Structure 1
Amino acid sequence: MNAAFASLSLAHLRTLECLLQLKNLSHAAQHLGCSQSALSRQLVHLRQAFDDPLLVRQGRGYVLSEQAEQLRAPLQAVLQSLSALPQPAAFDPARCTRRFCLAASDYVAEHMLPALVAALEREAPGVSLSFRTWQAGRYDLLATGEIDLATTLFDDSPANLHGRVLGEDGAVCLMHREHPLAVSTAVSQADYLAYRHVRICAGGDKDSFIDRHLRDQGLQRHIALDVPFFTATVQVLSRTRYLATLPEHIARQLCQRHPLTWRRLDFVEHSQRYWVVWHQRWHGSPEHRWLRERVFALWRESQFSVQGCPAPRA
């Protein structure tokens, strides 16, 4: 098999079928909606692929070569077989009955999931959802199909995953509004290490950059509580002098509804990217694509997202 034959596409075969039927370059070009010069270049490629002139000039027209005559019947059979392949139907969300599994933090579940469910009730009442708390690094659950879509934090999308950046944010230190550190404009490393910490262990990777920074200096913070929920973290901070490190836009939202405040970290800089990620096996699925677009749209509109959070205080 020569290289030209191996590179033949469906478009090449349709061009060849038209040429063999009409035996006229100008008529074939008109039928195919291309220029005669472009068709002539395709004919050169086809002649190389089959190692045969295919169309032989005779007088003012063309006749088919012996091999071209032999190609007509099998070529038509191939094209007819291809035309019989089922075509993807236009996706109608109102007729979709698929069950999707989403994974994110309890913050997303509390503030963004209700809007998504309401949108599905209006647009795709046959769709159902299950929600799981996302565990950082569990990309294998996307590969197996146990989870369809996840929102998380990382710098770059891992291999075999598709992703879309939803926004970017920095990390801050959250505390009770009467915490001793609340009198400062920022939290120093010494002050940060002087208090106990709550670590939110579910959802995206929010604070391991802090531990890496400290470990490089032979230091570590005192993590007194590992908990997977923002809601529990808020209650603990409201009753103790514990600290929590989390994204700034979430800290701002929590401070509006709870007796909390936040301060920037003056000893380390870190920017976090928010992603929606899915496995490549679902990338071409019309149903999955539709769900992703709804999630993207709702995220952009939500006051609780990184785009929708209130401006920082002066």
Structure 2
Amino acid sequence: MNQKTNLNLLYTLEVLLAEKHVSRAADRLNLTQSAVSRQLSQLRDIYHDPLLVRSGNHYVLTPRAERLGAELEGLFQNITKVLGQADFDPQLFDQTFTFSSSDYVAQYILPELVEHLSSLAPAMEFAYRLWEPDNLAKLSEIDVQLASTMLPEAPLGLSSQQIGEDIPVIVTRKNHPLSGTKTITEQELGEYPHIRISGGGDKDSFLDREMKARSLKRRILVSTPFFSSAFALLQQTDALLTVPLHIAVNLKKTQRLHVIDIPFNVPTHKYWLLWHPKYDHEPAHRWTRDHVLSIMRSSMYSVR
């Protein structure tokens, strides 16, 4: 017998053992009773066991048949998984999902993500990695299923969905000497020191270019990869910090900040949810990224 025939016979055996009745098994299999009887005869020859034994008006399973029934149940569950016929059930998803982004997302968005997803997928485990720009070329290799970052355009070779977009602004502490102004002057940009956030996407290099074109130089007081330390330093100095508008607006709710417009044309920041295309059709990944995208968009302050 070839493998296809053997698999068909095993399916017939599973139905026979479940129904313990040839005619009912034939109905489920959409076969004639005589065809199922022939297959039962083949199965008896293969296993050297009667499998089903008549007892009055019904059949009972032999001990060998009972053992086979338990084995076949697990076998066909695995076959269903391999063939991709099983629906994804978040209640049963028990794997680790690794997300990568900035420490701003880790501090202000990740808690909501975990709370929401764990309520729907209680066995899901979460891991977080700080995003580094060179990870773009490594998503096929590193253990990161989903990432978010700021990029001018969607990266080639990766799957992505745009979360939103906004523009950069200057923020200072609330009692800064410039806290009464709405727009900073070019001269003031050169007079005050700057804090630079080096982690994640390119948030402020445009400022150096624009200031250089005006014969000004930006003085960097400190460069840090973390939003948390940048905002702590901001409260203790007269420094300026360039951040995306949605972050400035969101953090004004919890920190004493003053938001100032930049006095020349600024670029549009675009934010992307990224993943390697190998996850495109993975049901668990698709389910998770849809929820992540929804929450991240809701936290995004969009400039219209």
The TM tier, using the shorter chain, reads 0.5 to 0.7
Partner in structure 2 of residue 135 of structure 1: 132
Alignment pair present for 1:305 and 2:284:
no
Distance 1:289 1:216 in 2: 46
Distance 1:233 1:217 in 2: 26
The aligned runs of 1:144-223 (5 Å cut-off) are 144-216=141-213, 219-223=216-220
Please identify, of 94-103 and 133-142, the stretch whose mean Cα deviation from structure 2 is larger: 133-142
Alpha-carbon displacement from aligned partner over 1:50-98 (angstroms, at most 9, x marks no partner):
xxxxxxxxxxxxxxxxxxxxxxxxxxxxxxxxxxx82342211111122
Are residues 282 and 217 of structure 1, via their aligned partners in 2, closer, same or farther at CA, if it must alter by over 3 Å?
farther
Alignment pair present for 1:261 and 2:276:
no
Are residues 212 and 284 of structure 1, via their aligned partners in 2, closer, same or farther at CA, if it must alter by over 3 Å?
farther
Alpha-carbon displacement from aligned partner over 1:167-225 (angstroms, at most 9, x marks no partner):
11110001112222223220122211211111111122211222333355565311121
Following TM superposition, by how much is the alpha carbon of 1:164 offset from its aligned partner in structure 2, in angstroms? 0.8
How many residue pairs match? The answer is 224
Partner in structure 2 of residue 113 of structure 1: 110
Distance 1:214 1:162 in 2: 35
- Describe the SS at the equivalent of 1:292: helix
Partner in structure 1 of residue 27 of structure 2: none
Alpha-carbon displacement from aligned partner over 1:224-269 (angstroms, at most 9, x marks no partner):
2111222211111111101100011211222232222010001232
Q: Is the 8 A contact 1:151 1:204 kept in 2?
A: no
The aligned runs of 1:281-292 (5 Å cut-off) are 281-292=278-289
The two structures have a TM-score, normalised by structure 1, of 0.66
- Describe the SS at the equivalent of 1:257: coil
Are residues 185 and 96 of structure 1, via their aligned partners in 2, closer, same or farther at CA, if it must alter by over 3 Å?
same
Percent of matched pairs sharing the same residue: 33
Following TM superposition, by how much is the alpha carbon of 1:291 offset from its aligned partner in structure 2, in angstroms? 1.0
Alignment pair present for 1:276 and 2:273:
yes
Alpha-carbon displacement from aligned partner over 1:31-50 (angstroms, at most 9, x marks no partner):
xxxxxxxxxxxxxxxxxxxx
Partner in structure 2 of residue 63 of structure 1: none
Please identify, of 179-188 and 274-283, the stretch whose mean Cα deviation from structure 2 is larger: 179-188
Q: Which runs of 4+ in 1 moved over 4 A?
A: 215-219
Q: Is the 8 A contact 2:197 2:224 kept in 1?
A: yes
Distance 2:88 2:224 in 1: 41
Partner in structure 2 of residue 123 of structure 1: 120
Q: Is the 8 A contact 1:237 1:260 kept in 2?
A: no
Distance 2:137 2:207 in 1: 26
Are residues 150 and 87 of structure 1, via their aligned partners in 2, closer, same or farther at CA, if it must alter by over 3 Å?
closer
Following TM superposition, by how much is the alpha carbon of 1:154 offset from its aligned partner in structure 2, in angstroms? 0.9
Distance 2:214 2:85 in 1: 57
The aligned runs of 1:91-110 (5 Å cut-off) are 91-110=88-107
Partner in structure 2 of residue 29 of structure 1: none
- Describe the SS at the equivalent of 2:135: coil
Q: RMSD of aligned C-alpha atoms?
A: 2.3
One-letter amino acid matched to 1:220: K
Are residues 137 and 267 of structure 1, via their aligned partners in 2, closer, same or farther at CA, if it must alter by over 3 Å?
farther
Q: Is the 8 A contact 1:106 1:133 kept in 2?
A: yes
